[in-house]
Amino acid sequence: MFDTSAHLVRHHAFDLVGGRVLLSDGKIVETSLSIENGCIASIGGDARHERILDVRNSLILPGIVDLHGDAFERQLMPRPGVAFDSGLALIDTDRQLVANGITTAYHGLTWSWEPGLRGTEAAHAFLQALTDVRPHLLADARLHLRHETYNLDAELQILAWLGDGRIDLLAFNDHMAHIGEKLDKPDRLAQFAGRTGLGSAEFLDLYNKVKERAGEVEQSIMRLADAARLKNVPMASHDDESKVDRAWFHALGCNISEFPVDEATAGFAIANQDCVILGAPNVLRGQSHCGRLMAAEMAERGLCTALASDYYYPALFHAPFKLAREGRMTLAGAWTLVSANPAQAVGLNDRGKLETGRRADILIVDDSTKPHPTLNAVVSLGLVTQFSRSMLS
């Protein structure tokens, strides 16, 4: 029934007719959408254009906004030490994104004090490749720079990138303790060293030298946060371990908490009107891969604002359906976790909801295929990407 290839059609004006549309008020109504020049021109009424896509029996949803996805690293380095061209990796990743309903993607580029996959050369190559291939991508691709805060030598370059408007979301990461507690295990030490191209002894020596500069980290974070605020670049803190940590980052203007480690910290963030991001893979698996919060439970209790693909792109499309199927949330409420809420968290007020005047980022879904709904087509800024033979015309 379904073709393995996508069929791309650019139309400046067309109508989607007969679908069940998730409106911004949470109601699902059978109605039409009129698309003009990449935007939703109207909702309801008779078809306005010669080109009509019959989407009867389909569920029509806003496109997904993914604030944190780093699965592209598998395209960059599918095996330890085996690297591929960044541009090629981004183009392949883009097709995966759209095939999973992600129309706005914040690529989580980790720039660490480690060489190799997350090192300086890789960061520069990735940013240049993103700049070069962005005009040819189907999804709206943006840069989420995951700054390892002990990477102090990167500060001046990050300040320059902020000044040039090249960073769309700045996150503060600190994985020193996480790495350090595993270095006494030879297999884990070899794993960390493997992605850097260093031997185990060299990696351990580098880690210890970097750790010696711990006293410089706090001031560096403050300088970068000041620069991001001046440029209105949204900021996130990663793995907040306590309410104290979250309060400090909140005071810096960092209003997104990625993967807080416990319920108290997540609740504190919500109470301060910060966005709490948890992983969609966590929802699908029913647990965290590292023994932390259960995302489905947190979402049900209002302690999760947005879901992210994290390391597995398909999870973002399927997680809201699972939350609804389990009775934890309505589908409309669950879908805000992957569309309206993440868009609002980073100030993208032109997407995330199906409303007149917003971007035509639209998913056409067959929700009769239980338990996994099927994505038949995606509209990304007016470009129709079709995955179903039945929709070809």
> What confidence score (pLDDT) does residue 291 get?
74
Domains in the chain, start-ordered, CATH in brackets? 2-62+352-391 (2.30.40.10), 64-345 (3.20.20.140)
Residue listed under structure tokens 């067959």: 366
Positions of E strands within the chain = 2-10, 13-22, 28-36, 39-43, 52-54, 59-62, 64-69, 102-111, 140-148, 169-173, 235-238, 256-258, 275-279, 306-308, 361-366, 374-380, 383-388
d(CA 387, CA 379): 11
> What confidence score (pLDDT) does residue 11 get?
56
Q: Report how far apart, in Å, the C-alpha atoms of 220 and of each of 56, 159, 237, 320 are.
A: 55, 11, 14, 38
> What confidence score (pLDDT) does residue 3 get?
32
> What confidence score (pLDDT) does residue 82 get?
86
Residue numbers in the chain where pLDDT is lower than 50: 1-6, 392-393
Cβ neighbours of residue 68 under 8 Å, at least 6 residues apart? 106, 108, 144, 171, 236, 258, 277, 308, 309, 310
> What confidence score (pLDDT) does residue 8 get?
53
How many helices and strands (H and E) does the chain possess? 15, 17
Q: Is the dihedral of CA 74, 123, 159, 114 positive or negative?
A: positive
What phi and psi values does residue 99 have, to the nearest 5 degrees? -65, -15
Q: Mapping DSSP to helix (H, G, I), strand (E, B) and coil, where does residue 346 land? A: coil
What 3 state SS string does 96-139 have?
HHHHCCEEEEEEEEEECCCCHHHCHHHHHHHHHHHHHHHHHCCC
> What confidence score (pLDDT) does residue 10 get?
56
